[in-house]
């Protein structure tokens, strides 16, 4: 398979980047997108050029590290998959593929396709936890009854891998799907109720401070999320926030 890649190159966070075109030959349909990028980089290294920097770790759709805007879609055209799970068979011989980093004020570019997603860490640190006394008296996991449907929903919300595709897909660069998933996974469980007020207030405040946009309910985040995190989480966060603001 012969492809033409248009890749965003940016030397560092201060530099002005631009799109560079790279023709590539010998791409196999069974390769993952990241393996194809490895071939691009091998070629560049052999020519003595700087390889394209991109984030990756587990390469099996779990870690949330890989983050590429492929032909205008986060993680490419295949639903419910990360970039590392995307295979080149989804493309045709002769295609031109545009590859860019996530674009958001809350995700500044570090180099090439790598963005700084520490804003997500700070949002989590603001409240996405349950304070537990770990002095040695560990409770039995089943000592607090949890409704099956709520446990399932909480687990589903907790499958968010924090990759940032929701922000990348949103026309407003809003981080509400991510934040709401983290709020929801605790709001749905009795263990999370104690700190519910502070959690949602602090996490929303942090989210706003990071410079993300406002959600306008386009639903693009849910469609592009590799884990299928639902828009329902955002409605839940809105309820939790209203409850926290009015009832305290």
Partner 1 sequence: MSALVKSSLARKWVMALSGLFLVVFLTQHFVINITSVFAPDTFNEISHFMGYNPMVQFIAQPILIIGLIVHFIMGIVLELKNRSARPIKYAKFSGNANSQWVSRNMIITGLVVLAFLGLHMYDFWAEEIGYKYISANPEDPTRYYEELVHKFAPFWRTIIYVIANVLLAMHLWHGFNSSFQSMGAKAINKGDGLRKFTYAWSVIIPAGFIFIALFHHFSHS
Q: Using CB under 8 A as the criterion, which residues of the chain lie in contact with partner 1 when the complex forms? A: 6, 8, 19, 69, 71-73, 77, 98, 100, 103-106, 169, 171-174, 176, 201, 204-205, 207-208, 211-220, 223-224, 230-232, 234-242, 245
Residue closer to partner 1 by CB (options 41, 98) is 98
Three-state secondary-structure class, residue 248: coil
Residue closer to partner 1 by CB (options 111, 230) is 230
The residue with tokens 């691009």 is 40
Beta strands in the chain (DSSP E): 3-9, 18-24, 69-70, 73-74, 96-100, 109-111, 114-115
Min dist. Cβ of residue 147 to partner 1 (A): 15
For the CA atoms of 138, 144, 146, 151, the dihedral, rounded to the nearest 10 degrees, stands at: -10
Min dist. Cβ of residue 72 to partner 1 (A): 3
Residue closer to partner 1 by CB (options 51, 213) is 213
Min dist. Cβ of residue 8 to partner 1 (A): 8
Non-local CB neighbours of 235 within 8 Å, separated by 6+ positions? none
Residue closer to partner 1 by CB (options 69, 88) is 69
Min dist. Cβ of residue 184 to partner 1 (A): 12
Q: What is the largest CA-CA distance in the chain?
A: 64
């Amino acid at each position: 398979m012969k492809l033409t890649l248009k890749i965003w190159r940016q030397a560092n966070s201060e530099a002005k980047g631009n799109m560079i075109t790279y023709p590539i030959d010998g791409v196999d349909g069974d390769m993952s997108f990241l393996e194809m990028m490895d071939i691009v980089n091998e070629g560049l290294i052999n020519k003595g050029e700087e390889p394209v920097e991109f984030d990756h770790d587990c390469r099996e759709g779990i870690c949330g590290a890989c983050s590429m805007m492929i032909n205008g879609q986060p993680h490419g055209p295949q639903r419910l998959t990360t970039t590392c799970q995307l295979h080149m068979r989804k493309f045709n011989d002769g295609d031109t593929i545009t590859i860019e980093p996530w674009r958001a004020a809350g995700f500044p570019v570090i180099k090439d396709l790598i963005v700084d997603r520490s804003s997500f860490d700070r949002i989590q640190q603001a409240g996405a936890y349950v304070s537990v006394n770990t002095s040695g008296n560990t409770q039995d996991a089943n000592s607090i009854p949890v409704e099956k449907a709520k446990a399932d929903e909480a687990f589903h919300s907790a499958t968010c891998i924090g990759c940032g595709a929701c922000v990348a897909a949103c026309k407003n660069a809003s981080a509400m799907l991510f934040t709401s998933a983290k709020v929801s996974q605790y709001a749905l469980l009795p263990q999370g109720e104690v700190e519910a007020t502070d959690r949602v207030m602090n996490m929303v405040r942090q989210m706003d401070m990071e410079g993300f946009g406002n959600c306008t309910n386009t639903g693009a985040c849910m469609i592009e999320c590799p884990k299928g995190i639902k828009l329902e989480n955002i409605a839940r966060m809105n309820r939790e926030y209203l409850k926290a603001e009015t009832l305290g």
